[in-house]
């Protein structure tokens, strides 16, 4: 019996990702604030209407800013995963800063949910050389920032050696489940216009065309494997805009019509472990 899983994941960053880029004036703060509104007024009601479980990844600073929002996410039965304390990616932190932030964020999640998070997703998807070790040390079950497959979890490695001028030597495979992701299944690069001093991300794609891509990746999975999981990543301040909310609802319909089983990442990681 084929089983094609879908994880709807929401990185509830509010303003933290903009703050990490040095954008702290009133307009970027309001841009993040918009996301907090959409969690409560749009996303939680949509998920409830379709009775879908989801996984939210929330940085510690956002939990402290929006404790009630996080309590409502938890009360609605969704998973809350660790997304660091600030939104600075681990690759840009010292090992000590990274570990301190990881633990601090888990403490905050435990305050809200009553238990330690099982999963971690790095801000901006860029792990450091020590992230996998830290996650194992602190008892995490899964990680979700790598791109080594599109619809099959695997076990994360540590200790790869990557010289500038020679072949890569792969390190040891660990017991940490990797729930892989992709920028192509993330709302952010498709939709979010972002201008910084050194870069321009155009975003603002036509939602109908993005929907077509999102559904096609699910169809590809169903043709290629009897068991797999496709992970979609959304940001409340991105997907919460009107035309994108309509797209998200159409995506849910399209996936349901094609037999998708919706699950949290926490539960899929356990299921994957049971199959190995
Ligand atoms: Zn994020």
Q: How far is the CA of 21 from the centre of ligand 1 (A)?
A: 12
Q: How far is the CA of 74 from the centre of ligand 1 (A)?
A: 18
Residues of the chain with pLDDT under 70: none
- Name residues with Cβ closer than 5 Å to ligand 1, which is an ion: 11, 13, 123
CATH of the domain at 116: 3.20.20.370
Contacts 24+ apart (CB under 8 A), 103-110: 103/138, 104/60, 105/59, 105/60, 105/63, 106/82, 106/138, 108/60, 108/63, 108/64, 109/58, 109/63, 109/80, 109/81, 109/82
Q: How far is the CA of 84 from the centre of ligand 1 (A)?
A: 9
In 3D space, the residue among 179, 78, 36, 184 whose CA is nearest the CA of residue 121 turns out to be 179
Q: How far is the CA of 235 from the centre of ligand 1 (A)?
A: 8
Q: Rounded to an integer, what is the distance from CA 185 to the centroid of its chain? A: 10
Looking at residue 196, its pLDDT comes to 81
Looking at residue 207, its pLDDT comes to 97
Which domain does 209 fall in, by range?
A: 3-275
Looking at residue 185, its pLDDT comes to 98
Q: How far is the CA of 133 from the centre of ligand 1 (A)?
A: 21
Which stretches of 3-145 are assigned E, i.e. beta strand? 3-11, 55-58, 79-82, 119-120, 142-143
Within 10 A of 95 (CB to CB), how many other CB atoms are there?
14
Helix (H) or strand (E) holding 228: strand 227-234
Q: How far is the CA of 18 from the centre of ligand 1 (A)?
A: 10
For the chain, the average pLDDT equals 97
Instruction: Report the alpha-carbon distance of residue 153 to residue 84 in Å, rounded.
Output: 22
Looking at residue 54, its pLDDT comes to 98
Q: How far is the CA of 125 from the centre of ligand 1 (A)?
A: 8
Looking at residue 48, its pLDDT comes to 98
Domain count, the chain: 1
Q: What pLDDT digit, counting tens, does each position of 228-249 carry? A: 999 999 999 999 999 999 999 9
Q: How far is the CA of 223 from the centre of ligand 1 (A)?
A: 31
Helix (H) or strand (E) holding 155: strand 154-158
Looking at residue 195, its pLDDT comes to 87
Cα angle 146-23-144, degrees, rounded to a multiple of 5 = 15
Q: How far is the CA of 28 from the centre of ligand 1 (A)?
A: 15
Q: How far is the CA of 146 from the centre of ligand 1 (A)?
A: 14
Q: How far is the CA of 188 from the centre of ligand 1 (A)?
A: 10
């Amino acid at each position: 019996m084929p089983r094609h899983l879908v994880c709807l994941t929401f990185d509830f960053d509010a303003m933290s990702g903009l703050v990490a880029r040095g954008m702290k004036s009133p307009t970027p703060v309001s841009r993040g604030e918009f996301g907090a509104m959409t969690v409560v007024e749009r996303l939680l009601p949509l998920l409830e209407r379709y009775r879908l479980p989801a996984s939210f990844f929330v940085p510690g600073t956002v939990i402290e800013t929006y404790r009630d929002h996080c309590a409502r996410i938890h009360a609605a039965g969704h998973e809350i995963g660790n997304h660091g304390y600030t939104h600075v990616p681990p690759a840009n932190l010292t090992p000590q800063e990274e570990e301190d932030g990881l633990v601090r964020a888990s403490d905050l999640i435990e305050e809200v949910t009553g238990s330690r998070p099982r999963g971690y997703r790095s801000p901006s998807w860029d792990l450091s050389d020590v992230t996998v070790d830290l996650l194992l040390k602190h008892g995490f079950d899964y990680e979700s920032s790598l791109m080594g497959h599109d619809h099959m979890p695997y076990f994360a490695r540590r200790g790869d050696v990557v010289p500038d001028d020679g072949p890569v030597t792969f390190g040891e495979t660990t017991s940490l489940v990797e729930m892989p992701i992709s920028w192509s299944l993330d709302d952010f690069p498709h939709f979010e216009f972002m201008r910084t001093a050194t870069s321009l991300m155009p975003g603002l794609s036509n939602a109908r065309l993005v929907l077509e891509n999102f559904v096609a990746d699910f169809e590809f999975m169903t043709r290629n494997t009897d068991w797999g999981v496709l992970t979609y990543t959304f940001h409340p301040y991105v997907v919460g805009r009107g035309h994108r909310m309509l797209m998200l609802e159409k995506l849910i319909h399209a996936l349901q019509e094609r037999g998708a089983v919706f699950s949290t990442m926490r539960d899929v990681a356990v299921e994957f472990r049971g199959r190995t």
